[in-house]
Chain A
Amino acid sequence: MSTDDIVDDLTRDTQNSPEELLTRSFFFVCAVLSIVTTVSIVVLLVTEAAKFFSITAPLMGIEGPTASIVDFLTGTTWEIGNRRFGVLALVSATLMITIGSAIIALPLGVATAIYLSEYAAPRHRAFLKPALEVLAGIPTVVYGFFALIYITPVIQTVLPGTGTFNLLSASIVVGIMIIPMVASISEDAMSAVPDDLRQAGYGMGATKFDVSTGIVVPAALSGIFSSFILALSRAIGETMAVTIAAGSQAQFLNPIDPTAYQEGALPMTAAMVQLLLGDITGGGLAYRSLFAIGLTLFVITLVMNVISDLIAQRYREEY
């Protein structure tokens, strides 16, 4: 082979061949598409919500009734008919369902993950983990009427005086719904803990319990926290089940009062469904409140995701 041949061969520009350019553009368009969609939704939420508040509405060229942003963020009464838009009434219901479902799902999910990762024989795990993930595939509307038809009557037997629609039932069902998420992600994190560390523990005379709780769980902490935050974000954003189970009566409740969970309330997502199902007219104040709630919800989940990342970084262990 002569030098010229070598030069020809070695100076091919494969990086910029037509196929490379085509595939590169294709993947770029796909990536951009999702970003554009996300950004558009956020822009839509912000602009429509801006038309809702009296402080920003003039900037958007809106005349007619508007709502005070201070009343929106601090008010505890949500009555659309009376133009009282206190989002805290909705936030309190969402918060209570989140707390209630967290109390159920976080311990159960982590315990399930420990069982699957540390105790279950491989053949049991091969069966149990997919079974658990099926739980996540059940349509949420099914969870909703499951709560209404089965969970609520049981609660009413145990705690007489509980309403047909109540936050406890909604919390339980959302809790059940997010267990697979906590369990599955936590289990992935625990399985990723190197076997060296378990061997070290067992070699020291640690019991299975010592190794699971003292070595594996701490080493997998960042993944476990991530699963918590993702699951709670899911609980906050959950719509169908809570719309069915929690009722439609907007009221502000004290999240740390256990008896308050026996009452029904209107979570943010359910309020949005209610607004959409009602005869709201495009461009009206009630219609715009939809976007204000949506933006609030978005900000809450965004903040949670940021916190999740920070926590995951803080507790990340390199092993």
Chain B
Amino acid sequence: MTDGHGQADDGIEPDGGEATTEDPSTEMAIQTDVSESVNDSDYTREAGTLVEARDVSVYYNDDRALNDITMDIPENRVTAMIGPSGCGKSTFLRCINRMNDMIDAARVEGDLLLRGKNVYDDDVDPVALRRRVGMVFQKPNPFPKSIYDNVAYGLEIQGADGDYDEIVEESLKRAALWDEVKDQLDESGLDLSGGQQQRLCIARAIAPDPEVILMDEPASALDPVATSKIEDLIDDLAEEYTVVIVTHNMQQAARISDKTAVFLTGGELVEFDDTDKIFENPDSERVEDYITGKFG
């Protein structure tokens, strides 16, 4: 990847979603700026939009799992998707990197734009898309390879240039795992604890420098301590990446996200707004009922 990530600079390019600059040198300064506003309770400034969903519906055979989802996912922010089981939030997440393609019965309708390009266009290669949109799964799934090879995997399949040692170290540092594993990079990733494995999977996802990181309930299989480490990490990741996270845990969504989308039964996006607004003063009564635990 030569063009890096996060070039559509919110604040500089008002129509960020369409913008691609090739100059990575401005990136750091802007990101520092962004990080100050991340999780800021006074979050008001609209970030540039990276992913736009327009009337996205998903069918499994004839059953509709997602119903006309329209939402703009901001760049360099954490967007959480919450809702009860079976509400379609994971299905929507998997639309963004076209992982649903692998399910024969699944059919996607509508437009899903990454920087203005519809990823469901016929000329889009899902392999190329997934190199820009990394994913972290619910259950930690490191490869049965060494820790080093796990992190370097994305670089290898892309035939990336550069110093792999350096990228591996940098990625493990960003995933807050480096100090724990720096002396055992040759050991199998499967020898790590569950929480470490999940951070290894995050390091693996960020090593090829994607633009978006999708996380499908990344902490649901972990204990509270490991969960809190992952949450801290997600916070840091938003400095450089756009994070979209599905979670069952509403407190988690409230803690880590800037924007929250509430999906309710029937694959419907009921409300999508700033996280503070969703949790403090949602427009929809159904959302309020869900948030306050009246159902779901």
Chain A residues proximal to chain B, CB less than 8 Å: 194, 196-197, 199-207, 210, 214-215, 218-219, 317-319
Contact = CB atoms under 8 A, between A and B. Distances in A.
A318 B190 contact: yes
Contacts of B143: 197, 200-201, 215, 219
A319 B134 CA distance: 22
Contacts of A215: 143
Interface stretch (B114-122, B125-133, B239-247, B279-287): B125-133
B158 interface: yes
Interface string B127-168: 111111011010101111100000001101110000000000
21 contacts: A196-B141, A199-B99, A200-B142, A200-B201, A201-B143, A204-B134, A204-B135, A204-B157, A204-B205, A205-B129, A205-B130, A205-B157, A205-B158, A206-B127, A206-B153, A218-B145, A219-B144, A317-B144, A317-B188, A319-B144, A319-B190
A196 B137 CA distance: 8
B158 A197 contact: no
Nearest to A204: B154
B218 interface: no
B89 interface: no
Given A194-B141, A205-B127, 11 more contacts: A196-B137, A197-B141, A200-B142, A203-B97, A203-B99, A203-B137, A204-B154, A205-B128, A205-B130, A214-B157, A318-B190
Contacts of A214: 153, 156-157
Given A202-B99, A203-B130, A203-B137, A218 B144 contact: yes
Nearest to B158: A205
Interface residues of B, number: 29
A318 B144 CA distance: 8
Given A199-B99, A218-B144, A317-B144, A205 B154 contact: yes
B157 A199 contact: no
Interface in B76-100: 97, 99
Contacts of B208: 204-205
Interface of B: 97, 99, 102, 127-132, 134-135, 137, 139, 141-145, 153-154, 156-158, 188, 190, 201, 204-205, 208
Which 4 residue pairs are nearest across A and B when measured between Cβ atoms?
A205-B131, A203-B135, A317-B144, A205-B130
A318 B139 CA distance: 15
B130 A199 contact: no
B30 to A, nearest CB: 26
A197 B190 CA distance: 12
A210 B157 contact: yes
B152 to A, nearest CB: 11
* A interface secondary structure, majority: helix
A200 B198 CA distance: 12
Contacts of B129: 205
A318 to B, nearest CB: 6
A199 B139 CA distance: 11
Contact of B141 (A199, A218, A317): A199
Contacts of B139: 196
B127 A207 contact: yes
A204 B144 contact: no
A85 B66 CA distance: 78
Contacts of A200: 137, 141-143, 201, 204
A218 B130 CA distance: 23
A35 B99 CA distance: 52
A202 B137 contact: no
A199 B137 contact: yes
B99 A204 contact: no
Contacts of A204: 130-131, 134-135, 153-154, 157, 204-205, 208
Contacts of B97: 203
A219 B130 CA distance: 23
B246 to A, nearest CB: 14
A197 B197 CA distance: 13
Contacts of A218: 144-145
Contacts of B190: 317-319
A216 to B, nearest CB: 10
Nearest to B130: A205
B7 to A, nearest CB: 19
A256 B248 CA distance: 63
Contacts of A219: 143-144
A146 to B, nearest CB: 39
Contact of A207 (B145, B153, B157, B205): B157
A202 B99 CA distance: 8
Contacts of B141: 194, 196-197, 199-200
In this complex, which of B99, B130, B132, B188 has the most chain A Cβ atoms within 10 angstroms of its Cβ?
A: B130
A34 B94 CA distance: 54
A199 B130 CA distance: 11
A199 B205 CA distance: 12
